[in-house]
Amino acid sequence: LSHQPIPMSGEMDKPLISLHLVDSDSSLAKVPDEAPKVGILGSGDFARSLATRLVGSGFKVVVGSRNPKRTAGLFPSAAQVTFQEEAVSSPEVIFVAVFREHYASLCSLSEQLAGKILVDVSNPTEQEHLQHRESNAEYLASLFPTCTVVKAFNVISAWTLQAGPRDGNRQVPICSDQPEAKRAVSEMALAMGFMPVDMGSLASAREVEAMPLRLLPAWKVPTLLALGLFVCFYAYNFVRDVLQPYMQESQNKFFKLPVSVVNTTLPCVAYVLLSLVYLPGVLAAALQLRRGTKYQRFPDWLDHWLQHRKQIGLLSFFCAALHALYSFCLPLRRAHRYDLVNLAVKQVLANKSHLWVEEEVWRMEIYLSLGVLALGTLSLLAVTSLPSIANSLNWREFSFVQSSLGFVALVLSTLHTLTYGWTRAFEESRYKFYLPPTFTLTLLVPCVVILAKALFLLPCISRRLTRIRRGWERDGAIKFTLPTDHALAEKTSHV
Instruction: List the chain pLDDT tens, one digit each, 495 residues.
Output: 444 444 444 433 333 333 333 333 333 444 445 678 999 999 999 999 999 999 999 999 999 999 999 999 999 999 999 999 999 999 999 999 999 999 999 999 999 999 999 999 999 998 999 899 999 999 999 999 999 999 999 999 888 888 776 645 789 999 999 999 999 999 999 999 999 999 999 999 999 999 998 888 889 999 999 999 999 999 999 999 999 999 999 999 999 999 999 999 999 999 999 999 999 999 999 999 999 999 999 999 999 999 999 999 999 999 999 999 999 999 998 888 888 888 888 877 877 767 788 999 999 999 999 999 999 999 999 999 887 788 788 889 988 988 899 999 999 999 999 999 988 888 988 999 999 999 999 999 999 999 999 999 999 999 999 999 998 988 754 544 445 554 444 443 333
**Residue that finishes a domain, picked among 212, 233, 262:** 212
Spatial distance between the Cα atoms of 289 and 283, rounded to a whole number of angstroms: 10
Same domain, 191 and 256: no
Do 441 and 464 sit in the same domain of this protein? Answer: yes
Q: CATH number, domain at 464?
A: 1.20.120
83: domain CATH number is: 3.40.50.720
Residue 20 lies in a domain: no
Residues 117 and 226 in one domain: no
Tally the domains of the chain.
2
- Does 423 share its domain with 406? yes
Contact in structure between 363 and 419 (CB atoms under 8 Å): yes
The answer on 414 and 301 residing in a single domain is: yes
The residue out of 161, 190, 212 marking a domain boundary is: 212
Say yes or no: 258 and 132 in one domain. Answer: no
Both 227 and 208 in one domain: the answer is: no
Q: What is the pLDDT of residue 34?
A: 63
Are 190 and 307 in a shared domain? no
In this structure, is residue 276 part of a structural domain? yes
358 within some domain? yes
Question: What's the pLDDT score for residue 215?
Answer: 80
Task: Please count the residues of the chain.
Answer: 495
251 shares its domain with 178? no
Give pLDDT, residue 115. 95
Which pLDDT belongs to residue 224?
Answer: 96
Residue 5 has φ and ψ, to the nearest 5°, of: -60, 140
Distances (CA, A) of 368 to 254, 365, 412: 27, 5, 11
Report if residue 475 sits inside a domain: no
Nearest to 57 by CA among 7, 94, 9, 20: 20
Same domain, yes or no, for 151 and 236?
no
Contact 381, 313 (CB under 8 A): yes
Among residues 56, 49, 78, the alpha carbon closest in space to that of 161 is found at 49
Can you give the residue range of the structural domain that contains 407? 217-470
The reported pLDDT for the residue numbered 211 is 92
Which of these three, 166, 196, 212, is where a domain ends?
212
Same domain, 176 and 59: yes
Is residue 455 a part of any domain in this protein? Answer: yes
Q: Same domain, yes or no, for 309 and 236?
A: yes
